[in-house]
Amino acid sequence: MRLRKEHGVKEKLEEYKDLVVFLEESKKMKFEGLFNNDNPIKAEFGIGKGRFIIEMAKRNPDINYIGIELRDQVLLKAVKKADDEKIANVKFLVANIENITDIFEENSLDGLYLNFSDPWPKKRHFKRRLTYREFISKYNVILKEDSWIRFKTDNISLFQFTLNELAELRVIMKEISLDVHEDDGFVDNIMTEYEEKFSKKGNKIMSVTFMPHR
């Protein structure tokens, strides 16, 4: 469902300068001083209302998190929640994932989460899927060596597409699950808003963790 555009969202985000990162044009993100520590940094691309990344930050105070969302008015909901809960180890950024190598330095992230990405079901749109090989090659650039990506979806076609892309790239895969909620290996699974919604409909949640090809 298309969101109705709200006025003044950018101005509202600017009120949360401790949580929201505003990049200068043609400048990449600099981590020095962003969190005031040298802890590992992990990111979630497409955070929705932020439940997953905020809960991850709460459970792992020794890890820093960056949440990226294309829709600023959706991101604002996550920012407000993080502010209400006084979460110090998370930052937010409005950005298009297509431009990710223009945002992050090489070898700058320690891990990445892709949760319920848009499946882009039409065949002609397959290159827009966040697990398409060109996106994976970009993740390879910004992730540190031996860092992992965890992908979750309820869309079986997207999951099959993802596994095929990873196989073609000869990517190392682990923790493949066809039903996360019934898999004993996912006892600490954190549900996103979409995951809760789809699970209540009876949809099985699938997941794979992989290391980009090097």
Q: What is the pLDDT of residue 5?
A: 58
- Any catalytic annotation for residue 72? no
Q: Is residue 15 part of a domain?
A: no
Rounding to the nearest 10 degrees, give the CA dihedral for residues 55, 56, 60, 63: -130
Structure-block tokens of residue 49: 């209302």
Predicted confidence band of residue 184 (pLDDT cuts 50, 70, 90): confident
CATH code for the domain in which residue 175 is found: 3.40.50.150
Q: Is pLDDT larger for residue 2 or for residue 44?
A: 44
Residue 28, domain member (yes or no) = no
Supply the range of the domain harboring residue 132: 40-211
What total number of domains does the chain contain?
A: 1
What pLDDT shows up at residue 1? 42
For 15-54, the DSSP string reads: T-TTTB--PPTT-----TTTSSS---EEEEES-TTSHHHH
Options 72, 84, 110, 118, the catalytic residue: 118
What does the alpha-carbon distance between residue 192 and residue 197 come to, in Å, rounded to a whole number?
9
2 pLDDT band, cuts 50/70/90, is very low
- Span 129-144, mean pLDDT? 96
